[in-house]
Homo-oligomer: A and B are copies of this chain.
Amino acid sequence: MNTKRSRMSAEDRRTAILDVATDLLSTHPWEEVTVALLLDAAGISKGGFYHHFTSKDDVLAAVLLRLTEASNSAGQAVYERSEGGAAARFTAYLGGTTRWELEHADKIMGVIRIAMMAGNEAIFLKLEQEARRRATPLMRTLVEEGVREGIFDVIDVDMTVDLLQHAWRMRWVVFAQARQRCATGDLAGGEAMLGERLRLEERMTNRLLGCDAATPVLMPAVGEFLGFLQAP
């Protein structure tokens, strides 16, 4: 095809390759993403490619790292600023993380697209484990403090945190569906769908936490998601 190819800085070339790999990963299962395919799409030779990456798996690791690293510091900052009782702090945590996720909705949807690709189950697992590993310590603390304050009444801290994270897992799938619905014109339907999901998660969260009904933990209001729902 093309004999003349540009010479880039190492970093530019790396990110260019990672961009292409991320794209391919959202349309093919990883095992079908051939090195040859990657080379063709990125416009670089095999030798050039292996000058920047040590292996095919190295690329996958780099892609996943890049997809997750941005969110590393988000949760912690949210918690450190929050005040009030345990329920209020938990509410702040939920709102903070959700808001952060909303701001990075496109990226998250991209990750979901990749993870949902048939054949990428292992990747999905890795991403989820990584996300949990990051969030678990903070959640543990929040729950433990709530128990100590007598606001929460959990059966077992670890299992509760685990189940909470599991209960929240499918949120973004529903969000994606809701946005889809809005895109087809049924704005009210999408909004209702999303609201129902939020209410459901809120009730389940409070039950798992054994939260005093007088001071419940709250999910963010539907209104916060309107911008997200109407985006392309």
The reply to whether A204 and B122 form a contact with Cβ atoms under 8 Å apart is no
Known A-B contacts A163-B163, A167-B163; the reply to A203 vs B122 at CB < 8 A is no
Q: Closest 8 interchain pairs by CB?
A: A121-B122, A122-B122, A155-B203, A121-B125, A166-B166, A155-B204, A156-B200, A163-B163
When all copies of this chain in the complex are counted, the total is 2
The reply to whether A200 and B159 form a contact with Cβ atoms under 8 Å apart is yes
Chain A residues in the interface with B (C-beta under 8 A): 121-122, 124-126, 155-156, 159, 162-163, 166-167, 200, 203-204, 207-208, 210
Complex CA–CA separation, A125 to B122 (angstroms)? 8
Complex CA–CA separation, A159 to B204 (angstroms)? 9
The reply to whether B207 and A156 form a contact with Cβ atoms under 8 Å apart is no
Output the least CB separation between A105 and chain B (Å): 23
- Within the complex, which residue of B124, B126, B155, B204 is in contact with A156, where a contact is CB–CB below 8 Å? B204
CB-nearest residue of chain B to A153? B207
Output the least CB separation between A121 and chain B (Å): 4
Output the least CB separation between A132 and chain B (Å): 13
Known A-B contacts A163-B163, A166-B163; the reply to A200 vs B155 at CB < 8 A is yes
Residues of B within 8 A of A122 (CB): 121-122, 125
Output the least CB separation between A68 and chain B (Å): 17
Complex CA–CA separation, A76 to B163 (angstroms)? 27
Output the least CB separation between A159 and chain B (Å): 6
Residues of B within 8 A of A156 (CB): 200, 204
Residues of B within 8 A of A163 (CB): 163, 166-167, 204
CB-nearest residue of chain B to A120? B122
Complex CA–CA separation, A187 to B125 (angstroms)? 35
